Amino acid sequence: MSQLLDDVKSKAQTWLDSPAIDQETKAEVKALLAKPDSKELIDNFYKDLEFGTGGLRGVMGAGSNCMNKYTVGVATQGLANYLNKTFPGKATKVAIAYDSRNNSEFFADVVAGVFSANGMQVYMFENLRPTPLLSFAMRYLQCDSGVVITASHNPKEYNGYKAYWTGGAQVVPPHDVNIIKEVNAITSFEQVKFKPVLANIHTIGEEVEKAYFEEVRKIIPNHDIIAKHKDIPLVYSSLHGAGITMVPATLQEIGFTNLHVVAEQDEPDGDFPTVKSPNPEEQSAMEMVIQKGKAVGATMVMATDPDTDRVGIGVRKADGEFILLNGNQAFSLMMYFILKNLKETRNTYIAKTIVTSELVDAMAAKLGVECYNTLTGFKYIAELMGKLEGKKTFVAAGEESYGYMAGDFVRDKDAVSACAFFAAMAASATDQGKSLYDWLIDMYVEFGFYKEALLNVTKKGQQGEQEIKAMMEKFRSNPPVEITGSRVVRLLDYKILKEKDLLTGKETTLDFPQSDVLQFYLENGTKVSVRPSGTEPKIKFYMAVNAPLASTADFPAVNKALDERIAAIEAYLKTI
């Protein structure tokens, strides 16, 4: 511990010694050094921010492990250096967007300044915009790279930096590794070109949004049904994020006329004053949109996270109460709707992540559409789309963490078009005299009742990071033989890229990039996956169970049985 403390103090001193660091930041560093408790100093300086599944993300503050002008500047200079080496002699073009978080606009200006100072043509939205629009703008403007300033659904103390590559997808290997090498090669803040060249910075015009709206219109099916049921009551909340700039307009563009916006949450605000956390995966974040839904008799309610790449959905049951769909249920329903209405299945495919419901795999297999699985993170889905472009027809993709994408005009999860798609689904269900909740049960009867749950264990700071590593090592060195009385029959380790059949001993190689993920398949059909989060100080346990559902009448009993299986698995995991 003493060596670690000496190291972080030395690192902090380099910030104090740098002529590039402003006096306000230096005062913050001095205050950290003066504190008797060194935990915050260590957390802020014990490492440099690294690219994870979502890019650069951290608590805002002074230090190498925090989001601030200097870490953002170094990251951008490293990316600029890599772009110049990758595209020598080219007039490089980059696009920038930002969300409603505190300092997002400031960080976006820093990024624009560094890129412009490195001779690049910078295209920047005049105001906050959803993340998916950055991906679309990159493709529309044919940019070589892009950056979104956001920490997605993290708590208000966080901000982040998502880097994109040609084609509008987030960076993947080898580019992420190569960018980090360039970042690490920067040895002083004086090497960062912070002074902007204003002539190189351009505003992205309205034509980009108009083109986006047109693409959304193309992918939405059954426009005649929407016209017939355009007045179904829908409720939307932006949770103080960027979604307010585009979601209502998109719903209106495709014909819906009875949209109610939660006014208390429509003002962009990085403090997110009406929610504990701006994460639509959490029930507490959905409370106000459900209240509004009950008040207006809504068919469906929707809420998006601050950068509008994820959406939470609530559907009304016959008794007037709302049920919140988790990401697996919502994506499965979307696939149920899309695949059932797909006119051409030859040479088509959908995509999902390895921790997303296998109900989607089952539906795709039965309906004759290929389903690809990728590592967690939409960047891997986008990478797959790039590899298959011109060879197979992409239909849709999604992941359990509330991210969905229909159509290939955006190469990232897109809550704007997803809201439009779910609204179209609600209209189609209404046309059948049903609700989306009815569709959910119908889907389970036809394809099997699959149920999933997620257990997050938070471990903050340097100590927490070590604890998470120790937990993963324990699972690898001493994997469970059985879980809740059912034998583990298959073990998949994405770090060593091996799958082992524990009944026969046979080993096969996994065709994936390396990732710190373990999956255990049990004899009774249960799947348990474990991985450290790439963007948050958490270790994640994904639990998945399934059973046949013979009829709608059997739903309560089978649902209870599956809940009990999940509860038993969760209790077991909490003892580890």
* Tokens 């949209």 found at: 259
530 vs 45, 475, 537, CA distance in Å?
Answer: 28, 9, 14
Cross-strand pairs, 58: 159
Burial 364-374 (b: 16+ CB within 10 A, else e): beebebebbbb
* Nearest C-alpha neighbor of 161 from the set 224, 106, 92, 209: 106
Q: Are 67 and 160 in contact (CB under 8 A)?
A: yes
Distance in angstroms (rounded) separating the CA atoms of residues 58 and 60: 6
- Annotated catalytic residue 401: no
Tell me the residue type at 576.
I
Tell me the residue type at 15.
W
* Nearest C-alpha neighbor of 322 from the set 391, 412, 235: 235
In terms of Cβ atoms closer than 10 Å to its own Cβ (0-12, 13-18, 19+), residue 202 is middle
* Nearest C-alpha neighbor of 329 from the set 360, 365, 372, 288: 360
Distance in angstroms (rounded) separating the CA atoms of residues 290 and 262: 10
Distance in angstroms (rounded) separating the CA atoms of residues 344 and 393: 10
Tell me the residue type at 396.
A
Report the SS3 class of residue 257: coil
Distance in angstroms (rounded) separating the CA atoms of residues 570 and 232: 39
* Nearest C-alpha neighbor of 60 from the set 156, 142, 163, 132: 156
48 vs 24, 45, 52, 545, CA distance in Å?
Answer: 21, 7, 12, 39
Q: Catalytic pick from 104, 116, 152, 435?
A: 152
Burial 150-173 (b: 16+ CB within 10 A, else e): bbbbbebebbbbbbbbbbbbbbbe
Distance in angstroms (rounded) separating the CA atoms of residues 139 and 400: 26
Backbone φ and ψ of 549, nearest 5° = -125, 105
Q: If you compute the radius of gyration of the chain from its CA atoms, what whole number of angstroms results?
A: 24
CB atoms within 10 A of CB 564: 12
> Would you mind telling me the total number of residues written for the chain in this entry?
576
Tell me the residue type at 361.
D
Q: How far apart are the first and last CA of the chain?
A: 26
Q: Which residues contact 165 (CB under 8 A, 6 or more apart)?
A: 144, 145, 171, 172, 175
| Per-residue tokens: 338 | 């899309």
Distance in angstroms (rounded) separating the CA atoms of residues 485 and 482: 6
Which residues of 33-157 form beta strands (DSSP E)? 56-59, 93-98, 121-124, 145-149
Backbone φ and ψ of 490, nearest 5° = -140, 140
Catalytic positions, please? 152
